[in-house]
Structure 1
Amino acid sequence: MTAASPTARRIFPLRPTDPPVRRLAVLAVVGLGVVAGLGGWLFASAGGAAVGVGVAVFAVGASVAAWRLHRLHPHARLGYANAVTLLRLTLVSTLVIPLVGVSPAPVAIIAVATISLSLDGVDGWLARRQGLSSAVGGSFDMEVDSVFALVLAALAVVVGGAPWIVLLLGLPRYLFGVAGVIWPWLHDPLPPRYSGKVVDVIQMITLIVLQLPGLPHPLAIALTLGVLGALAWSFGRDIVWLWRRRA
């Protein structure tokens, strides 16, 4: 039997025993330990049940990533980019622990969130540098970003006591997804926009700032409204662009 050609490798899904899937599985096992150990250390007051929820969130996210990798990954290597994105999923899952356990630990939350944000963009750079960019890797990164924003928004409200309007900062990606079910043309590819990335970074920085204890509610509301306006402009521009080119 001859070895599969490069073309066949691109067309057919990877087997679970192929190197990229195996490597992601090994990294995921390590990630489970990191979520349990780091979360139990930083957010000990949250309790064991909350740690278990954080571990479960990571397990679900890593399983979905492995399934999509198995079906859609076009390369024979996993690449550092996917490993970094998995690390970010580890950190985001750790932040679920103080949310579920309602554990006020602003310094730890801000530290973990800042590390996660600092890694955002590293995965894309690594993928391009290694020549391993893919739609499934970009989707993995985007979904981790979406969960990250939602968890930070919920932490600010539930644990930090911020106004409920802050929750809206964690919902744009999901609202856009729901709208895409109604209007499928919203799922069409978009051109890369540097301004959109800037708005995303401002959104995440604001969500981290909102974790600060004692932040006055008027200031929190003003920051939230400002970022919501920037998000509305960014998403609105994309929607108009897609609408004009819909089939």
Structure 2
Amino acid sequence: MFGGDTYNATRTAEVEPPVAQLCLASAALALVLGVASSMTAGSAAVSLVVFAVFVGFLIRGLRQSYPHDVLGLCNVVTLTRTAMVAFLAGAVLAPAVNPWLMFSVATLAFSLDGVDGWLARRSGLTSRFGARFDMETDALLGAVLATWLLASGKTGPEILVLGFMRYAFCLAGFLFPALQADLPASFRRKAICVVQIGALIALLFPLTPDIAVVPVSFLAAALLTWSFLVDINWLLRRTE
């Protein structure tokens, strides 16, 4: 997670400022996250643990593979998205949280996706670390939303396909090392990721009619499964 090319020890001094900036931004967001979770009947402990674990991986990734000497607003935006996802995670075990609040926070977190990439390109701070950071935040958002939908009884277990397909793919990589290779950039993959998260948020919308739940969840799951199968086939054929 957040891995990449490892830089030698002579770059340590260059990496330290982004780590310090990340820790400062994380501390401020953690304070806001704890207060917000407590005020909305969410589990502050769960939210803070999820956020802290994620930040731990980020620090490791910064030290291993981040090529710039500043963290940048782009990564701060993604970090803010991560804090929003952690807030949603704390609400999974708190049924008293207002579903409209869940929907609003999820929509905002999703809406900011792409802003970080635009900021990175504009400021010249693009990196593999940033791309991976964004992708892992999206994956966690999907997992949290799918878990909430299942726990709330709004959908059946089929929704877990939308939330945990990426993590299943990563686990499969331990059994089939060929799946750990890098994939080429793909518009199809990005588009279906939008469909995946968009479908989860649509199902989270309190006014979504019950009759639409099954078609939306199954169609999005089918598209996501197809996309992963295309990538798996490409990766396995490379080793033949």
Residues 162-200 of structure 1: CA distance to partner in whole angstroms, max 9, x if unpaired?
Answer: 222212210110011011111111121111111211111
Quick check: which has more Rg, 1 or 2?
Answer: 1
Against the structure 1 CA distance between its residues 219 and 213, is the aligned structure 2 distance closer, same or farther, given a 3 Å change threshold? Answer: same
User: If the length of structure 2 is used for normalisation, what is the TM-score?
Assistant: 0.90
Report the residue type matching 1:164 in the other structure. Answer: P
Contact 2:150 2:159 in 1 (8 A): yes
Matched, 1:127 2:127: no
* Percentage of matched positions with identical amino acids: 35
2:167 aligns with 174
The Cα shift of 1:18 comes to 2.1
- What is aligned with 1:23? 21
Q: Which residue of 2 aligns with 1:81?
A: 74
1:88 and 1:119 in contact (8 A); partners too: yes
Q: Does residue 1:185 correspond to 2:178, yes or no?
A: yes
Paired with 2:48 and 2:14, the residues of 1 have a C-alpha distance of 22
**Secondary structure at the residue paired with 1:18?**
helix
1:68 corresponds to 2:61? yes
Structure 1: where are the runs of 5+ without partners? 1-8
Asked whether 1:11 is paired with 2:4, we answer: no
1-structure distance, mates of 2:179, 2:96: 38
Any gaps of 5 or more consecutive residues in structure 2? 1-5
Root-mean-square deviation over aligned CA pairs: 2.1
- Partners of 2:15 and 2:62 within 8 A in 1: no
Q: Which residue of 2 aligns with 1:224?
A: 217
Deviations 1:99-122 (A, max 9, x none): 122234111001000110011111
- In structure 2, what is the equivalent of residue 245 of structure 1? 238
How far apart in 2 are the matches of 1:204 and 1:138? Answer: 17
Distance in 1 between the 2:15 and 2:235 partners? Answer: 39
SS in 1 for 2:86: helix
Name the residue aligned to 1:203: 196
Q: Does 1:100 align with 2:93?
A: yes
Q: Is the 8 A contact 1:80 1:126 kept in 2?
A: yes
Q: Is the 8 A contact 2:150 2:156 kept in 1?
A: yes
Q: Deviations over 1:58-104 (max 9, x none)?
A: 11111211121122211112122211111111000010121122234
Aligned length: 234
Q: Which moved more, 1:18-27 or 1:100-109?
A: 100-109
Letter in 2 for 1:171: F
Letter in 1 for 2:33: V
Q: In 2, Cα distance between the equivalents of 1:117 and 1:163? A: 23
2:139 matches 1:142: no
CA positional deviation for 1:10: 5.1
CA distance in structure 2 between the aligned counterparts of 1:213 and 1:19, rounded to whole angstroms: 43
Q: CA deviation at 1:215?
A: 4.4
1:37-56 alignment runs, 5 A limit = 37-41=35-39, 43-44=40-41, 46=42, 50-56=43-49
Indicate how the Cα distance of structure 1 residues 233 and 17 shifts in structure 2: closer, same or farther if over 3 A, else same: closer
Change beyond 3 A, Cα 1:210–1:68? same
